[in-house]
Amino acid sequence: MEFSYIIQIFIGFIGLVLIAIPFSSNRKIINYRHIISAILFQLFLAFILIKVPVITNLFSYLADAVAALQIATGKGTEFVFGYLGGGTLPFDLAQKGSALIFAFSILPFIIVMSSITAALWYWGILPFIVNIFSKICQRLFNIGGPIGLGAAANVIVGQVEAPLLIRPYLSKLSNKELLILMTAGMSTVAGSIMVALVSMLQLQFNDLNLIQHFLTASILSVPAAILFANILMPSNEVTDFEGDETPKIYENTMDAITRGTRDGTDIAIGVGSILIVFIALVYLVDSILGIFSIGNQALSLQMILGYIFAPIAWLMGIPWEEAIVSGKLLGIKTALNEFVAYAELANLQDGLISDKSKLITLYGLCGFANFSSVGILVSGISAMSPERKPDLIKVSLKALIGATLASCMTGTVIACFV
């Protein structure tokens, strides 16, 4: 690694932290030891997850499992949707890959994976893994059991499902703990979404084990989320468990599968609906902005977002000449939706940015940090604990800022290893 690049990465870590400090509710009591601990812990986790052969071999088996899941899901979609869902085409393709229909080929993965995740949770496999990670975070960052479990669970389950695990404690959490919960929820991607994203990006990253990178990104973003929550709202208040630490969600395996299927269907419909609306809105905005131009290039929302987020892309370790392209994707994810941003990344022209920059960008995009997610989280958590709605609204903007920076911090960490 060149010395100039080491300096850029070093500036990146400091710069992302400095961006958060002006938004802090109390700059005087920020615990900088926790900041350093979180960054070192991220680097340690990244090394283990990417460089240790035993772990990488496990990820290769997981990739095989995902491939089997894709084939199995394809059988289901083919039966229900025929050739639209991956069956034999009754015509010849004019262009390779043009038969891929998002609604029938990508969204079904969310439903199947949601069902499998629910079953694995009921069987105790996922709670065991989440509890280990939760205990580590509790020790490192002086957080209580409920918020440690709620934050760590976001690696596996969705941003609204994770708070369900600590529902009895939502009314007791401090505002900082609510902020951690929301920030972790928006800086990670649920397991059900990961498989759909892997399917979207396979052609762009055909030589990489994408499920390894998505899981690594979500795992690394949890300590980053806690880091930025501690900056944005520093506090020593800790809420701990009172009795049983393993709440029961499902009655039996069949209940887990059916409820997981129902939840996955709701998510898939929501994702599809949001994509239709936001892509339409982007087109309308670009139609208006296209009246103006910079040089010979028509002005667009992507261009504006690219210039705004380019410095953050550079802080992630992306060369300045490629930062505007990456920044555009970061901006689309924040202003619109991570699926829209990943769709743009999947269709990125060859040669615009290097493979390394693509991978760093993939990590920076990994999360639900956008304005629509703020609304989903506030409404979802307030439905479980209505009395906390004013507090959720109060910390929601900080959560969006913290989650965006957390995902970018994860991109900076991964730049040290790729």
Mean pLDDT for 23-35 is 89
Mean pLDDT for 213-218 is 92
Question: What whole-number distance in Å separates Cα of residue 358 and Cα of residue 80?
Answer: 35
pLDDT at 132: 87
Mean pLDDT of the chain: 86
Picking from 145, 221, 237, the residue whose alpha carbon sits closest to that of residue 183 is 221
The first and second tokens of residue 226, run together, are: 């806690």
pLDDT at 94: 57
Greatest extent of the chain over all pairs of C-alpha atoms, in Å: 68
Kindly report the CA angle at 185 between 183 and 188, in degrees rounded to 5? 100
Picking from 275, 274, 288, 299, the residue whose alpha carbon sits closest to that of residue 376 is 274
Question: What whole-number distance in Å separates Cα of residue 412 and Cα of residue 195?
Answer: 24
pLDDT at 99: 56
Look at 38-47, 94-103, 120-129, 293-302 and tell me which has the smallest mean pLDDT.
Answer: 94-103
pLDDT at 306: 83
Instruction: Please identify which residue in the block is written with the tokens 């709620």.
Output: 150
Strand partners, 56: none
Contact between 193 and 159 under an 8 Å Cβ cutoff? The reply is no
- Is the model's pLDDT at 390 over the cut of 90? yes
User: How would you label 245-268 residue by residue, b for 16+ Cβ within 10 Å and e otherwise?
Assistant: beeebbeeeeebbebbbebbbebb
Q: How is residue 172 annotated by DSSP?
A: T
Picking from 219, 188, 180, the residue whose alpha carbon sits closest to that of residue 43 is 219
pLDDT at 220: 93
The first and second tokens of residue 200, run together, are: 């979207």
pLDDT at 246: 56
- Residue type (1 letter), 45: L
How many Cα atoms sit within 13 Å of 374 on the Cβ side?
A: 19
Question: What whole-number distance in Å separates Cα of residue 5 and Cα of residue 237?
Answer: 39
Could you read off the pLDDT of 330-387 as tens digits, one per residue? 988 988 888 889 988 998 988 889 999 999 999 999 998 988 888 888 888 888 889 9
The first and second tokens of residue 62, run together, are: 């997981």
The first and second tokens of residue 94, run together, are: 């004019």
pLDDT at 247: 62
Could you read off the pLDDT of 149-160 as tens digits, one per residue? 888 888 887 787
Look at 84-98, 192-206, 314-328 and tell me which has the smallest mean pLDDT.
Answer: 84-98
Mean pLDDT for 84-95 is 68
Could you read off the pLDDT of 391-405 as tens digits, one per residue? 999 999 999 999 999
Question: What whole-number distance in Å separates Cα of residue 190 and Cα of residue 159?
Answer: 7
Mean pLDDT for 77-84 is 84
Could you read off the pLDDT of 94-103 as tens digits, one per residue? 555 555 677 8
Contact between 388 and 382 under an 8 Å Cβ cutoff? The reply is yes
Kind of pairing between the strands at 293-294 and 297-298: antiparallel
Phi first, then psi: give them for residue 317, nearest 5 degrees: 105, 15
Helix (H, G, I), strand (E, B), or coil: what is residue 297?
A: strand
Picking from 278, 377, 339, 371, the residue whose alpha carbon sits closest to that of residue 107 is 339
Count of CB atoms situated within 10 Å of the CB of 168: 15
Could you read off the pLDDT of 134-175 as tens digits, one per residue? 888 888 887 888 888 888 888 887 787 788 778 888 888 899
pTM of the full structure: 0.86
Q: At what angle do helices 53-81 and 210-232 cross, to 10 degrees?
A: 110
Picking from 415, 236, 232, the residue whose alpha carbon sits closest to that of residue 323 is 415
Question: What whole-number distance in Å separates Cα of residue 387 and Cα of residue 393?
Answer: 12
